[in-house]
Amino acid sequence: MSCIHGRQISSFNASEFEPPENGDWVFAKDTYVTEGIGGKKRTLSYDEMEQESEGETHRWLRVTTLNSLQELGYSTYDGGVGVKGHNGFCDGAAKRGEGVVLFECLTDWAVSDLEQLNRKLKFSEVTTLILVVLKKSAKTLKTLQRIGRIKLNSNVIIATPSKQNGQWGLSFSPTHSHHVLPEDGPNIQIQLNIVRKRSYSYFTVKEVGDSDFGQLKNAFSTKVRRATFEMIGGFSGATNQRYKGGVGNFEFIARSQGVEIARYSQSYSSLDIEIKTPNEYSDFLKEKVDSLAKEFGICIEESNKVVAHRHIDDI
Note the pLDDT tens digit of each residue in 109-121. 999 999 999 999 9
Report the candidate in 168, 129, 278, 288 with the shortest Cα–Cα distance to residue 220.
288
What is the model's pLDDT at position 249? 72
CB 169 within 8 A of CB 215: yes
Q: Does residue 315 belong to any structural domain of this protein?
A: no
Q: Are residues 193 and 176 in the same domain?
A: no
Q: Are residues 137 and 23 in the same domain?
A: yes
Q: Are residues 196 and 124 in the same domain?
A: no
275 vs 264: CA distance, rounded Å: 5
Last residue of a domain, one of 131, 163, 180: 180
Q: Does residue 312 belong to any structural domain of this protein?
A: no
Q: Are residues 215 and 283 in the same domain?
A: yes
Q: Are residues 41 and 113 in the same domain?
A: yes
What is the model's pLDDT at position 68? 86
Q: Are residues 46 and 119 in the same domain?
A: yes
What is the model's pLDDT at position 112? 92
Q: Are residues 143 and 16 in the same domain?
A: yes
Q: Does residue 242 belong to any structural domain of this protein?
A: yes
What is the model's pLDDT at position 237? 55
- Contacts for 116 with CB less than 8 Å, ≥ 6 apart: 88, 110
Q: Are residues 194 and 123 in the same domain?
A: no
What is the model's pLDDT at position 2? 36
Q: Which residue segment(s) compose the domain that 109 sits in?
A: 2-180
What residues pair up with 299 in beta bridges, in sequence order? 189
Q: Are residues 143 and 230 in the same domain?
A: no
Q: Are residues 290 and 201 in the same domain?
A: yes
Last residue of a domain, one of 153, 180, 207: 180
What is the model's pLDDT at position 247? 53
Q: How many domains does the chain have?
A: 2
Q: Are residues 125 and 147 in the same domain?
A: yes
- How far, rounded to the nearest angstrom, does the alpha carbon of residue 278 sit from its chain's CA centroid? 31
Residue type at 244? K
Mode of pairing for the β-strands spanning 92-96 and 99-106: antiparallel
Q: Does residue 265 belong to any structural domain of this protein?
A: yes
What is the model's pLDDT at position 163? 77
Low-confidence ranges of the chain (pLDDT < 50): 1-9, 175, 177-178, 183-184, 305-315
Helix ranges, 40-183 (H): 46-53, 56-71, 108-112, 114-121, 135-146
Last residue of a domain, one of 120, 148, 180: 180
Q: Does residue 313 belong to any structural domain of this protein?
A: no
Q: Are residues 174 and 274 in the same domain?
A: no
Tell me phi and psi for residue 161, to 5 degrees: -70, 145
271 vs 308: CA distance, rounded Å: 24
